[in-house]
Structure 1
Amino acid sequence: MQRKSGVLRAIAVIVSLALPTVLAVSAADARIGGGFSSGSRGSRTFSAPPSTSTAPGTASPFNRTLTQPGYNGGSGFNSPARSRFGGGMLGGLAAGFLGAGLLGLLFGGGLFSGLSGFGSILGLILQIVLIVFLARMAMAWWQRRNQPAYAGATPPGGQQSFSSSMGFGGFGGSSSAPLQIQPADYEAFERLLGEIQAAWSNEDVGRLRLLTTPEMASYFERDLEQNQARGVVNKVSGTKLLQGDLAEAWREGDADYATVAMRFSLVDKTVERASGRVVEGSDQPQQVTEIWTFLRHPGSNWQLSAIQQAN
């Protein structure tokens, strides 16, 4: 019985470590960013950007970010110590299992007490997922309740059509934005959309480092390394902007930020390096809507600072 109990405890630990990874991979897409919300938006990293006609819903919270809660500066890339358990679902589940273990110790049952059967393990996992889900809902409600009314947000009925060479009328903006986004800026955003996707498809790390912040470049490099380890390469082509809206634009210190919602089409497929066989995706174009944040320092060009998924 003791040996059986030890095996069950070992299974519980393995499940606690493996489940978050499985969840993350199953929810990920192959294109750049992997379908995650990654990066930083300065002091607004933990505030949801205003919705737009392109992305009328909400933006997903960041799964990967180096910005810590309470950050007030605006210098772009920063690297404070990260949480021991990381962020997102991984942090929630790891903390949940730690909590379960501590409760077992407090009540005299030992670490991971109550995990005496596979059904109990599944029940505990479901409870933890539910608690994480409710906690995220509460945090999102609290952020919305305390989010200031940014001047860069588009007022109801006040969205303007921005005429440019971009598809479907280009971006819509707000004339009340404290940081004025000019036609050349919108053209830069569209150009970066295509150039970053092309650099990703070509696995051009040097180019990605020029077009994105060091934080975003580190995520992309890590994702490329994972593809190499799997023996596959993600090929993205035919990127075309269909619609875009300025969500907000602001200045922090000497840094300019602009968050835009973009709906675009692209061909996204993953192929084996050795054979060229398509293992994910297809040659058929698909449409994607994401919220991209760009960062610019004085005398420098715009760089990609964050990608968020649209809900």
Structure 2
Amino acid sequence: MLTMLSSFARFARIAAIAVVAVFAAADMAEARAGRGGSFGSRGMRTFSAPPVTNTAPRPAQPIERSMTQPGQVTPGITAPRPGATAQAAPQRRFGTGFLAGLLGAGLLGALFGAGFFGGLGGLGSIFGLLMQLALIGGLVWLAMSFFRRREQPAFAGAGAGQAQGAARSSLPGLGSLGGGLGGLAGGMAAGGAPATEEVVLSAADFDAFEQALYDVQKAFSDEDIAALRRLTTPEMVSFLSEDLAENAKAGVVNRLSDTKLLQGDLAEAWREGDDEYATVAMRFSLIDYKVDRASGALVEGSTSEPVEATELWTFRRSRGGPWLLSAIQQA
């Protein structure tokens, strides 16, 4: 009997470690343009979290590098109300909070030999152990079911038919703009974002966002500063140029190729004076590796195995001009 109980206890610990590893692995992928960081400016919303979306169901990482200062107000724009914050609605924090509670309440306890009710020493019976296993199994099942539902695209996936008219987006995964803007309205109300004017986007806008994904990655891979100036804001050119300079100093070249958009949707779109902003979530894959600048020998990554990343890209345009990439945030 003791041998059986010991086997059950070991199984619970192994299951706990496996669950922790699964969720940790989901955060490993990073895009190389910008070194997987969060940087740039989103106007008045630079330090406000974009609403979560089907493509990026978790809150985005805060912007770490920006020329915009906290509290800076664009001329002609009404400042946000005192006390307005970028806190996400409680339901948006459910995934993170649920995992934290899952790990804190039971899984970490199982790792150290004490479960939800203090382990075998607490109850001294098979009933206590079975209750631990049942609760751990139930919580793991709930967690996996929740994330499977969140990961299922609510809109057309990559390879779906082209959108029809201005009411549809041609960005794979975006589906109808009505669905995307519905999420935008809810996110703004709950997030306490500045009271700026909403913007309705067309299919052509989403075509531009998708093309920018490919063009920016290629320009970064080619170390083409002139192309980056055409595609991004001066601030983003500065940050990306710094990354390229660091690669040159290290004697390597970061090669990016075969970029493919897998899923995308709109987080929010708004106007500040003469400028319009749009933040879109994009999950994409690409070949990402580094080679020695002199010899061309592979230094890091794979020349054949793609990696995936999920990022939120913010674009800005002034007075009807072209959309320029103004910020990247990790999901």
TM, length-normalised to structure 1: 0.62
Aligned-residue CA RMSD in angstroms?
2.7
What is the alpha-carbon distance in structure 2 between the residues aligned to residue 212 and residue 168 of structure 1? Answer: 24
Unaligned runs of 5+ in 1: 1-26, 76-140, 147-158
Give the aligned partner of residue 227 of structure 2: 207
Say if 2:69 is the partner of 1:68: yes
* Equivalent residue in structure 2 for 1:173, among 176, 180, 186: 180
Return closer, same or farther for 1:244/1:30 CA change in 2, 3 Å cut-off: closer
Q: Alignment partner of 2:49: what SS?
A: coil
Say if 2:263 is the partner of 1:243: yes
Whether contact under 8 Å (1:30, 1:234) holds in the other structure is no
Whether contact under 8 Å (1:234, 1:269) holds in the other structure is yes
What is the alpha-carbon distance in structure 2 between the residues aligned to residue 173 and residue 45 of structure 1? Answer: 21
What is the alpha-carbon distance in structure 2 between the residues aligned to residue 74 and residue 31 of structure 1? Answer: 34
Whether contact under 8 Å (1:43, 1:74) holds in the other structure is no
Alignment of 1:216-295 (within 5 A): 216-283=236-303, 284-295=305-316
Q: Which has the larger radius of gyration?
A: 2
What is the alpha-carbon distance in structure 1 between the residues aligned to residue 252 and residue 258 of structure 2? Answer: 20
State the shift of 1:299 in Å: 3.6
State the shift of 1:279 in Å: 1.2
Alignment of 1:88-237 (within 5 A): 143-144=86-87, 163-168=168-173, 173-174=180-181, 178-237=198-257
Return closer, same or farther for 1:213/1:201 CA change in 2, 3 Å cut-off: same
Q: Alignment partner of 1:276: what SS?
A: coil
State the shift of 1:167 in Å: 3.6
Alignment of 1:27-46 (within 5 A): 31-46=32-47
Cα offsets for 1:53-77 (capped at 9, x unmatched): 00000111111101111122179xx
Whether contact under 8 Å (1:74, 1:255) holds in the other structure is no
Q: Alignment partner of 1:248: what SS?
A: strand
Whether contact under 8 Å (2:29, 2:309) holds in the other structure is no
Identity, % of aligned positions: 55
Give the aligned partner of residue 322 of structure 2: 301
Whether contact under 8 Å (1:233, 1:270) holds in the other structure is yes
State the shift of 1:173 in Å: 1.7
Give the aligned partner of residue 84 of structure 1: none
Cα offsets for 1:254-296 (capped at 9, x unmatched): 0000001000010000110111111111121111100000000
Say if 2:55 is the partner of 1:48: no
State the shift of 1:170 in Å: 5.6
Amino acid at match of 1:289: T
Unaligned runs of 5+ in 2: 1-27, 77-83, 90-153, 157-162, 186-197
Q: Alignment partner of 2:86: what SS?
A: helix
The number of equivalent residue pairs is: 208
Whether contact under 8 Å (1:30, 1:270) holds in the other structure is no
Cα offsets for 1:3-24 (capped at 9, x unmatched): xxxxxxxxxxxxxxxxxxxxxx
What is the alpha-carbon distance in structure 2 between the residues aligned to residue 43 and residue 169 of structure 1? Answer: 25
What is the alpha-carbon distance in structure 2 between the residues aligned to residue 28 and residue 285 of structure 1? Answer: 10
Cα offsets for 1:75-116 (capped at 9, x unmatched): 9xxxxxxxxxxxxxxxxxxxxxxxxxxxxxxxxxxxxxxxxx
Cα offsets for 1:223-250 (capped at 9, x unmatched): 1111111110000000111110100000
TM, length-normalised to structure 2: 0.58
Q: Alignment partner of 2:87: what SS?
A: helix
Moved more, 244-253 or 169-178: 169-178
